[in-house]
Structure formats: C-alpha cells, structure tokens
Structure 1
C-alpha cells in the first residue's frame, strides 16, 4: 500500500461519481453508523458530530462488554450489526471511504464514523 487511504465526502450533485478504490460507508451501507446527530443534539452534547463518531468507535471497540450497547440496532428495516462490521473490516483495508459528512478543515480532527473505520481497517492485523 503506497498511499494512506483517505475519507471522501460523498456528494449527491449531478455528475458526481464515486472515485475508484472507494467504498461508500454512509448510513444505508452495512458499515453505517446507527447513532444519529439528532440523538446527540437531544442529549445536549456540545459537539454532536464528535459525539456520534466517538459513540460509534466505542460501540465497535467494547460492544456489549460495558452494558451500554446492543450488538445490533434496528432502525426501520435496516439492521446495524457490530459483529458484521468487525468481521468485514478487512474489505475496507487500503480503500478510500466515502460518507456524506463534511470533510474537516485542514489540521482539524475528522469527526465521522468513516474516519473511525479508516483507522480500524488500516491498523488491524490482516
């Protein structure tokens, strides 16, 4: 792997196409984040986007061990399954990841679940 994979902002504008070597990980995908910004706003978090990304990271890291999370979440017809995400992380290794979250300003932290997935997929043992 010569270049470090990056996060791409998915666009819904006319003519936008997913770049080569990119996997879409937005909410409708199997890698989607079940935790929403609205939930963080309702909980009065000072930085909702950060809270949602950190909650996703914790969900993947500790799962049900702390008693805070479920293994799976169902939102409508979609099922978010922690075990499946972890089992399929290898599919993201070396790939750029696309999500609809805005990209951070240069030098600022990336508060998106795709950044969490990038880190996990590219530092986990093969």
Structure 2
C-alpha cells in the first residue's frame, strides 16, 4: 500500500477522482477558510505558505491563544475547527484532492491538504 498523497483536483472533461481519495477543497467540510486573496491584500510575502500556515495554526491552536475564530463562514458554508478535528480520522490513509497546484519536485507543499495529510496520518499518541 502506498503512502497517501495530495492530488490536484481537475475540472476538465473526463477527469475522475481516484479511488481512495477525498476532496478537501474549499467547499468541502475540510476547506481552508484562509484565502490567497486575503493574504495578498494583507501584503504577505508568500500567500500560499501563509494560508497553509494559518490553517495549521487554526487546527492546532484554535481560539486558545490566537486571533482565530472557532468557526468561519464562507457563503452559506460554515467551517468548524472542532468538526475538522473530530473527522480527521476519516482522512487517514486516503489521498486528498484540492485545486491548489502541486509543488515542483523537492519543493514544500503549501496547501491545506498537505496539512490535513500530515495531521490525519500522524502516528497515534501512546496512551
């Protein structure tokens, strides 16, 4: 069995989501509430990296020590930190599909799906 990977979701005719893959793009329950447009507007030097880092911090820290909200509304959808964390186990062992471009070989992956892959497939902590 291969290690779970990130897949770039395509919207072209004939493209199909591979078996054992889950869509985690913005409209999904695992979507990233932090947008590239907001990062650019805030004049962040690396907007993709900033969005992925904010997502990681949101999941790890939540409202315990930062400016993050517990939930974010995007249109009619509500992204809830507690729900994402409670459902991470559903992503374990799965490939994750997002519309973000894949990184060049050897480059870091600045996509929230990479964050989800890491967190969902982390070894369980010993009790």
TM-score of the pair, normalised by structure 1: 0.96
Paired residue secondary structure (1:123) = coil
Question: Which residue of 1 is the match for residue 36 of structure 2?
Answer: 37
Cα distance in structure 1, aligned partners of 2:12 and 2:30: 23
Tell me by how many angstroms 1:38 deviates: 0.4
Determine whether 1:92 maps to 2:84: no
Matches within 5 A, 1:38-117: 38-117=37-116
Q: Which moved more, 1:100-109 or 1:65-74?
A: 65-74
CA RMSD across the alignment: 1.0
**What is the aligned residue count?**
125
Cα distance in structure 2, aligned partners of 1:68 and 1:3: 38
Runs of 4+ in 1 over 2 A off after TM superposition: none
TM-score of the pair, normalised by structure 2: 0.96
Listed as ranges, the gaps of 5+ residues in structure 2 are none
Cα distance in structure 2, aligned partners of 1:104 and 1:50: 12
Tell me by how many angstroms 1:124 deviates: 4.8
Listed as ranges, the gaps of 5+ residues in structure 1 are none
Cα distance in structure 2, aligned partners of 1:88 and 1:125: 15
